Amino acid sequence: MTAYLGLFGEQLSDCNVNCLVDTINPLGTLATKIFNANHACIAASFHENNPLKGNRYFEDKEWIAVLAGDLIRISVPWKMIMEILDSGKYEKLKNFNGYFSILALNREKGELFIVSDRRAQLQTFYLIGERDKKIRICVSTELSTFCRLPVEMTFNIEWLWEYLFFNYPIGQTTFLKNVKAMPPASILQVNIDSGRHWFSKYADRLRKKEHLLEGKESLDYAYDIFRNSIPKHFIGGETIACALTDGWDGRTNLSFCPNINGVVAYTYGTPGCSDLVEASKTVKALNIEHREILFDKTFEEKLPALIFDTVFLSSGMERITRATLLYAYSVLTEYGKSFPLVMSGISFDMQFRGHAHTPALISSGMAKIFSTGINDIDEGYWQKLMGAYYEPFRTHISKQIENLEKDYGKLSESAAHLSYMLYELSPKYFGSELAIAKHFTTLRVPAWDNDIIDLSYSIRNSTISFSQFLADYKRGAWKK
């Protein structure tokens, strides 16, 4: 995986560019490339042994472009990307599979393009300032970049309200007032000179199919999708680490692996936990190598520093409890020296079994709305908690709930639950896992493959039927 930043303004010399570049390579585990153009500075960081072949940057007389993230293909198709942006035939980006963000500057026309992936899983942030500001435009895949700009930043209290009610920000909200997150499947085009900017969509959000597949037809279709999709994620690495627990997602990846002899399974946890016990049985049956990463005394000793670094490396997006991930990825890859490609399943449960833990992932407030369909924010509780801020809090949260219903449909219906998990929860919650992992490896998540996500909207045996927020939901019903 990679990261990037772009700065555009008349007084870039007043900005400590090296200090900003540190935000996209804070551990020094990545290589960096910096481009300086007229009133512009663009920087990219990347793994030199990345499974996606080719440079993460492109330059000719007309363009400077950088790519962050990962595409499920052999190499970066720079010629195709430039042709798409130049021609305005943005719908062709619909076929790009993976989580990625692209920054492209047309030097001749003075136009900037920012491209998000289908669900904005790789979050990208932008600030478009006024004409008299030193830094007029800033774009980065790291929120920490904006905290080091030589311009005054204001805390966004609406971010705090959303964090308290939803567990994470909704839509384009960030904790900095004038910094916004890119929406999914979008192209932000900015005129560098005037600051005029506009959005274009290259793909619609996925929706529940009108006729859902059932029975053998559904199983056959699902098998074909998994058989064709998952092997593509193993491309690019000779030895690949694959997450394995006592759940289904890791075993699903292994079952479709094109070369099981090139895989090392890994499991992390406290000694004796069910994940370690069950994973050891699976690897024994498959006769493959298994790395166990234990949260033992060594982990405990490092925990204070891990907690701090977890929050810092994820730009404040990740909770301290996920310090376990930072430890696991650093130990597994020897701080980026081994396993340039790591496979993870992550969210098959959310897509096909309807599970999203409450209140850890889905807040109690949203769980109630999903179950009832009523926009009720528990007035007594929040009024007591928010005090003088209650009215603006209530107005803002109610507006965001209305926006969610506009985007995903009636919130009491299971299709809206699936969309909320994929478009709101996943980029915020699991996006912060990517923010940690990218300093050490390229993390690939077959559950986020475009075709597998579309599958979850196409068959009855998915969260469409098994959402835990449906009145007739029964845990384990998916097994029948």
Give pLDDT tens digits for 239-261: 999 999 988 888 999 999 999 99
Q: For residue 388, is pLDDT > 60? A: yes
What pLDDT was estimated at residue 265? 96
Q: For residue 89, is pLDDT > 90? A: yes
Residue with token string 């991930």? 325
On the 0-12 / 13-18 / 19+ scale of CB atoms within 10 A, 31 is middle
pLDDT grade for 281, boundaries at 50, 70 and 90: very high
Cα–Cα distance between 72 and 346 in angstroms, integer?
17
419, containing H or E segment:
helix 414-420
Q: Which of 43-47, 228-232, 372-376 has the lowest mean pLDDT?
A: 372-376
Residue with token string 């699903």? 252
Q: For residue 480, is pLDDT > 70? A: no
Taking residues 274-283, report their average pLDDT: 94
Give pLDDT tens digits for 65-76: 999 999 999 999
User: What is the distance, to the nearest Å, from the Cα of residue 125 to the centroid of all Cα atoms in its chain?
Assistant: 13
Report CA-CA distances (Å) from 263 to 138, 269, 278, 431. 40, 20, 18, 25
User: CB atoms < 10 A from the CB of 87, how many?
Assistant: 9
Tokens standing for residue 238: 């000779």
Taking residues 283-296, report their average pLDDT: 95
Prediction pTM value? 0.94
Which residues are bridge partners to 139 per DSSP?
6, 126
Tokens standing for residue 233: 């994620």
Where do the domains of the chain lie, and which CATH numbers do they carry?
2-154+175-201 (3.60.20.10), 215-373+410-479 (3.40.50.620)
Determine how β-strand 186-191 pairs with β-strand 197-201.
antiparallel
Taking residues 30-38, report their average pLDDT: 91
User: CB atoms < 10 A from the CB of 257, how many?
Assistant: 20
> Which letter does DSSP use for residue 312 in this model?
H
What pLDDT was estimated at residue 216? 95
pLDDT grade for 467, boundaries at 50, 70 and 90: very high
What pLDDT was estimated at residue 379? 86
pLDDT grade for 476, boundaries at 50, 70 and 90: low
E strand spans, 9-131: 31-37, 40-46, 57-59, 63-71, 98-106, 111-116, 125-128
What pLDDT was estimated at residue 431? 86
Q: For residue 455, is pLDDT > 80? A: yes
pLDDT grade for 7, boundaries at 50, 70 and 90: very high
Taking residues 81-92, report their average pLDDT: 96
pLDDT grade for 317, boundaries at 50, 70 and 90: confident
Q: Is 272 in contact with 372 (CB distance < 8 Å)?
A: no
Cα–Cα distance between 443 and 368 in angstroms, integer?
34
